[in-house]
Amino acid sequence: MENEIKEKIKELIVNKEVDGFLGLRRYFNYVVPYLFTKENLEDLEEFFLDEVKYPLSKIILKIKKFYPDKKFGMLVRGCDERHLIELNKNNRISLKDLYLLGINCSENMVLKCECSSPYVRIANISFWEKTRGKEFENFYKNLSFWIEKFSRCIKCYGCRNICPLCFCNNCTLEEEFLVRKGLLPLDYPIFHLIRAYHLAGRCIDCGLCEETCPAEIPLRKLYKEINKKFYRIFGYKPGENIEEKHPLEFLEEIKEKNGI
Amino acid sequence: MEYKTVPSICPYCGCGCGILLEVVEGKIVGTLPLKTHPINKGKLCIKGWNVHEFVYSENRLTSPKIKKDGKLKEVDWDEAISYAAKKLLEIKEKYGPNSIALISSARCSNEENFLMMKLARSVLETNNIDHCARLCHSSTVVGLIKTFGSGAMSNPIPHLEGAKTILIFGSNTTEAHPIVATYIFRAKDKGANIIVIDPRKTHIARIATKHLPIKIGTDIVLVNGMINEIIKNGWEDKEFIENFTEGYEELKKIVSKYDLSYVAKVTGIDEKEIYETAYLYAHEKPSSIVYCLGITQHHYGTDNVISLANLSMLTGNVGKPFTGVNPLRGQNNVQGACDMGCLPGYLSGYQKVSDDKAREEFEKFWGKSLPKEGGLTVEEMFAEALKGNIKAMIIQGENPLISNPNINRVRKALKNLEFLVVLDIFSNEMTEMADVVFACASFLEKEGTFTNTDRRVQYFPKVIEPIPNTKPDWQVISLLAYALGSKGFSYNSPEEIFNEMSLLTPIYRGISYERLKKNPLQWPCKTRLDPGCEYLHKDGFTQGKGKFIPVEKKEPFEIPDEEFPFILTTGRTIFHYHTATMTKNSPSLNKELSSVYIEINPEDAKRLNVEEGEKVKVISRRGEIEIEVRITDNVSPGLVYIPMHFSESPVNVLTSHEPLDPQSKIPPYKYSCVNIKKIK
Amino acid sequence: MKDIKILGFLCQWCAYQGADLAGTSRLTYPPEVRVIKVPCSGRVSSHMIFKAFQKGADAVFVAGCHPGDCHFKSGNIIAEKRIKVVKSILDTIGVEPIRLDFFFISASEGVRFKKVVEEFYAQIEKLGSLNLKNGK
């Protein structure tokens, strides 16, 4: 399967359908993100698909900042696709300009990462068979559970740094008035409540935040619960399609559309 | 068009976390965590996330300098190297080789530390080489070698997750070793007992299942009390003691007078808590001990470490998975610097300079006879410099003007030198004092290996070319050695240095770059097929049997009185690294914290009539500083705390350089007596 | 219970006028309820509400104009939606969602203002203080 993917990437680059392709490659015993271009086509030998998730959507935004006029293709899993749909809604990237090479997640991957839709839907081409996602059990914990977890936070900003949907130039979490600086334990739970609010109706459940949290705070489960409630209130689920917009962020747009 | 990510090792602490540097067209633009790294598994602390920020700072040294007419002038490399070599040879001729002293950098690679050691011994012919481990974990090296035979962390960091009881002595783990704390959090989620023994209410103390706010410096009393309880109640591991240890009877005798009420009185901890802690450690196994500078940085630090070793052997909690005596080393390569022999009494691999057989191997390889008698330690170097016996020093990647105790004395000592050479990547207080400054390349601009706190040797590649006009330390040392007349420094790459080192160092003999590029290896790794050693002392100690060495309560060297009524202790915050040479030049870290403060208990603050944010004068017998107040219940009444970071309010003006621990020569950083006065 | 603290955000065009009317009519409401005047209920961000709880409020309410009356057209609409989201977050972490509420109050509703606030206070009094940072 990997050879097919390598061939496809080579084809895209050689036929100038893309100027560069963001994928993964081996480096020593690790698998890391890498941009394949026509100058380094021989590196495609090192292309490798591993059961590891990197914030590829965040990386492609960075690459596009350096090369705004180039066309790119990238590897996407179900979660990467949902990221890109949301980013498109927020005008950070245009899906029209991206070639999406989709990878449906294997059963092993689904076991590791409790995703409800581990497959691609809008990619230009997809590889691997679709498997059924895991339905998420209710995760209700009481206040003392959450406060204990939040109090562990070491203020690494990892959850924000790794989330492809955190792209603000001035991050609210760095407002001294809301969260004091240079303190550990930090001001909790306000730090986490602010982040939770900013992800309500936006988080597409990729799990990168929970994987990167050194304090082992179950962030993904928190945001997932909140988004379930959000759906019940507004009937809106992020990452599904480009047309539906967030009911609070795009209130004026929605009202205009509905002639209010 | 280029975008690539290159794996490397975080330079900011002894955890040795994997990072990915994002590179666009030869420039580093960001940092990501390395998701499949065995230690951090995709997690980083705030420093790790911002490794890339210091690289292109405008404060980077971009040219060697020589002091002419009292001012530093930029010169080219040839002039700097030949001038330094000339002066060093002059001083060596005039005053003898032991008038020169070297301090290597625990932030530089293993290869560079090995070369510093080779420079000192085979070219300058002195054993006066040491590094900052002297100031932090020399107590560990000496104490654990005496009891176990090996001075390094016995179990790997991931084993903490499987322990049922973890005792954390004098370690602000979350702030100083965040990713080690992650494993402790996971252990807690699995139901482990996390017991923190620390006079301050640190972040990890708040997470712990039990916090024992011990009176500062009384750890030996507590541990002896625990040992006594365990023996009294028959909870000791008789089989383990019988098979793997010696000296038990003597220990039993000495601890018998440390009964619960005495221990409670001295340490300030409840009798019930002491009893419970001893019970849990002895019963809910596997049990692990984690400790850091709260144990080592006293003038009886070695004895503190020995008491922990005693406790672990008593209950059979060493030499098995998920157990151990685990010192958390501070710098990214301080374990490596020790391993490489940048110690006055040891060659690489902890082979003594006085051990003729070991020394002869080096003499054969290097073609020179090497000095036999041990050299000076860091504090002794400054003492001798003050006396005028040390005339020249070479200091690499170290800032004693902030990190050594009693800074005013350090400054006098350095001023008294005839010649000072400094190798660094940033201009700072040290480079200002130097006669020759070498502008070195950072770890991202060269390849090499680091050894982290759990003995893991890790390869890091060259990510970008050195900043223009800087050279990697290994090249600088080689050029200097060549100018000093040596022919043994013609290396084409760090790999050649590593190969030479591994031939001479039994515990590294099986390690090579080829193997490291496949995965990190934990020493001892003695042959090409040896997979490395996950945990030490399995089925017996390095020296055969572990030695119980009874230790007794020690008195502080100064006690609070009317003139200096508060006890000051020091430490580090998560936002900055030590003297902040690198982190001060990282905007994201500066945004969080850009100045230090003194932590004062609310009751004391009321009595002193000081407010949050007010500037006060803090005075000790060594000097005084002005610093901002932070009122917090992290410290108990009578105790104050200042982080060590910045030159604006350097806490080490107040700390004392003596008395040194007689066994490890470590200064008593963690305890001094101070007074606090309002500034009118 | 004298140690219940409640913070209210009142929009200056309607709700605050209503509260003012309650005042001039000598209608009392529990003194532990403090109010902040804002230009519009839509100005009240989630951050302010979280900050209020972080600083020790046991309950927070936002009061704005009735639908259709908002001086800025739809500020009150978005405020009401926003409060729903913040309530769901509080609920998820185990804080009783009734500790946060949104009321439509017009400038002429002095009596209703007193009634609404008193009812809210009674509900919170029954729940007790929040003690957020200790997680109880």
A254 touching chain C per CB within 8 A: no
Chain centroid offset of residue C52 CA:
11
Mean pLDDT rounded to a whole number for chain B: 95
Residue A258 has pLDDT above 70, yes or no: no
Neighbours of B114 (CB within 10 A): 29
User: How many Å apart are CA B140 and CA B291, to the nearest integer?
Assistant: 10
Q: How many CA atoms lie within 13 A of B246 on its CB side?
A: 6
* Predicted pLDDT of residue A2: 86
Task: Note whether B35 contacts A216, CB cutoff 8 Å.
Answer: no
Task: Note whether B2 contacts A215, CB cutoff 8 Å.
Answer: no
Task: Note whether A20 contacts B1, CB cutoff 8 Å.
Answer: yes
B 175-214: CB under 8 A from A: 175, 178-179, 181-182, 185-186, 189, 203, 206-207
* Predicted pLDDT of residue C2: 63
* Predicted pLDDT of residue A94: 93
B 440-459: CB under 8 A from A: 459
Report chain B residues whose CB lies below 8 A from the CB of A214.
40, 43-45, 178-179, 181-182
Chain centroid offset of residue C15 CA:
10
Locate B72 and state its tokens: 């530093």
Task: Note whether A67 contacts B1, CB cutoff 8 Å.
Answer: yes
Average pLDDT over residues B467-479: 96
C5-40 confidence digits (pLDDT tens)? 999 999 999 999 999 999 899 998 888 899 999 999
pLDDT band at B646 (very low <50, low <70, confident <90, very high): confident
Closest approach of chain B CAs to the CA of A25, in angstroms?
A: 10
The answer to whether B49 touches A158, Cβ cutoff 8 Å, is: yes
In chain C, the residue whose alpha carbon lies closest to the alpha carbon of A232 is C88
Closest CA to B205 of B589, B504, B626, B641: B641
A16-50 confidence digits (pLDDT tens)? 999 999 999 999 999 999 999 999 999 999 999 98
Closest approach of chain A CAs to the CA of B679, in angstroms?
A: 24
pLDDT band at A260 (very low <50, low <70, confident <90, very high): low
Nearest residue, CB atoms, A152 vs list B4, B207, B459: B207
Neighbours of A200 (CB within 10 A): 25
Residue identified by tokens 């306000």 is A190
Task: Note whether A162 contacts B517, CB cutoff 8 Å.
Answer: no
The answer to whether A35 touches B4, Cβ cutoff 8 Å, is: yes
Neighbours of B519 (CB within 10 A): 15
What is the complex's ipTM, to 2 decimals? 0.95
Average pLDDT over residues B280-300: 96
Q: C3 or B28: whose pLDDT is higher?
A: B28
A172 touching chain C per CB within 8 A: yes
A50 touching chain B per CB within 8 A: yes
Task: Note whether C89 contacts A172, CB cutoff 8 Å.
Answer: no
Residue A257 has pLDDT above 80, yes or no: no
Residue A32's DSSP bridge partners are A25
Between vectors from CA B52 to CA B49 and to CA B57, what angle results, nearest 5°? 135
Residue ranges per structural domain of chain C = 12-128
- Any chains having at least 3 CB pairs less than 8 A from chain A are B, C
Alpha carbon distances (Å) from A197 to A60, A98, A113, B475, C45 = 25, 30, 23, 53, 10
User: Residues near B451 by Cβ (< 8 Å), separated by ≥ 6?
Assistant: B16, B110, B333, B335, B336, B339, B457, B458, B523
Nearest residue, CB atoms, B44 vs list A22, A152, A156: A156
The answer to whether B103 touches B410, Cβ cutoff 8 Å, is: no
| DSSP conformational letter for A138 | P
* Predicted pLDDT of residue C136: 59
Task: Note whether A193 contacts C89, CB cutoff 8 Å.
Answer: yes
Chain centroid offset of residue B342 CA:
13
SS3 for B197?
strand
Query: β-strands B436-439, B448-451: how paired?
Result: unpaired
Cut 0.90: pTM above it: yes
- Any chains having at least 3 CB pairs less than 8 A from chain B are A
Task: Note whether C92 contacts A143, CB cutoff 8 Å.
Answer: no
Nearest residue, CB atoms, B178 vs list A62, A211, A214: A214
Task: Note whether C89 contacts A233, CB cutoff 8 Å.
Answer: no
Q: Based on the number of CB atoms within 10 Å of its own CB, is A145 exposed (0-12), middle (13-18) or buried (19 or more)?
A: middle
A 20-49: CB under 8 A from C: none
Closest approach of chain A CAs to the CA of C112, in angstroms?
A: 28
Mean pLDDT rounded to a whole number for chain A: 92
Nearest residue, CB atoms, C95 vs list A143, A178, A187: A143
Task: Note whether A196 contacts C51, CB cutoff 8 Å.
Answer: no
Task: Note whether A50 contacts B36, CB cutoff 8 Å.
Answer: yes
A38 touching chain B per CB within 8 A: no
Neighbours of B12 (CB within 10 A): 27
Q: Do chains B and C touch (3 or more CB pairs under 8 A)?
A: no
Closest approach of chain B CAs to the CA of A1, in angstroms?
A: 23
Q: Based on the number of CB atoms within 10 Å of its own CB, is A240 exposed (0-12), middle (13-18) or buried (19 or more)?
A: middle
A152 touching chain B per CB within 8 A: yes
Closest approach of chain C CAs to the CA of A178, in angstroms?
A: 7
A128-167 confidence digits (pLDDT tens)? 999 888 877 778 889 999 999 999 999 999 999 999 999 9
A119 touching chain C per CB within 8 A: no
User: How many Å apart are CA A115 and CA A117, to the nearest integer?
Assistant: 6
A 50-109: CB under 8 A from C: none
B144-155 confidence digits (pLDDT tens)? 999 999 999 999
Report chain B residues whose CB lies below 8 A from the CB of A211.
35, 42-43
Average pLDDT over residues A64-69: 95
Nearest residue, CB atoms, A30 vs list B25, B34, B178: B34
Report chain A residues whose CB lies below 8 A from the CB of C89.
193, 196-197, 200, 226
Q: What is the largest CA-CA distance in chain A?
A: 59
* Predicted pLDDT of residue A74: 96
Element (H, E) at C51: helix C46-54
Task: Note whether C54 contacts A201, CB cutoff 8 Å.
Answer: no
Crossing angle, helix B407-415 and helix B378-387, to 10 degrees?
A: 50
B43-102 confidence digits (pLDDT tens)? 999 999 999 999 999 999 999 999 999 999 999 999 999 999 999 999 999 999 999 999
% of chain B with per-residue pLDDT over 70: 100
Task: Note whether A147 contacts C91, CB cutoff 8 Å.
Answer: no
Closest approach of chain A CAs to the CA of B408, in angstroms?
A: 28
A39 touching chain B per CB within 8 A: yes
Q: Which of A197, A233, A254 to mutate to test the interface with C (most CBs of C within 10 A)?
A: A197
Task: Note whether C85 contacts A197, CB cutoff 8 Å.
Answer: yes
Q: What is the DSSP string of C86-132?
A: HHHHHHHTT--GGGEEEEE--TT-HHHHHHHHHHHHHHHHHH----G
* Predicted pLDDT of residue C14: 92
pLDDT band at C74 (very low <50, low <70, confident <90, very high): confident
User: How many Å apart are CA B396 and CA B424, to the nearest integer?
Assistant: 6
Report chain C residues whose CB lies below 8 A from the CB of A145.
94, 135
Q: Which domains does chain B have, with CATH numbers?
A: 4-54 (2.20.25.90), 65-133+333-522 (3.40.50.740), 138-328 (3.40.228.10), 566-678 (2.40.40.20)
**Count of pairs with CB atoms under 8 A, one residue in A, one in C:** 86
Residue A31's DSSP bridge partners are A26
Task: Note whether B7 contacts A32, CB cutoff 8 Å.
Answer: yes
Residue ranges per structural domain of chain A = 2-127, 143-234
Q: What is the DSSP string of A141-187?
A: --HHHHHHHHHT-----HHHHH-TT---SS-GGG-TTTS-SS-SS-S
The answer to whether B2 touches B26, Cβ cutoff 8 Å, is: yes
Nearest residue, CB atoms, A214 vs list B18, B35, B43: B43
Task: Work out the end-to-end distance of chain C between its first and last CA atoms, rounded to an integer number of angstroms.
Answer: 18
C76-116 confidence digits (pLDDT tens)? 989 999 999 999 999 999 999 999 999 999 999 999 999 99
Closest CA to B652 of B589, B586, B592, B572: B572
C136 touching chain A per CB within 8 A: yes
In chain A, the residue whose alpha carbon lies closest to the alpha carbon of C80 is A248
B397-434 confidence digits (pLDDT tens)? 999 999 999 999 999 999 999 999 999 999 999 999 99
pLDDT band at B251 (very low <50, low <70, confident <90, very high): very high
Alpha carbon distances (Å) from A62 to A53, A164, A174, B57, B161 = 17, 10, 21, 21, 36
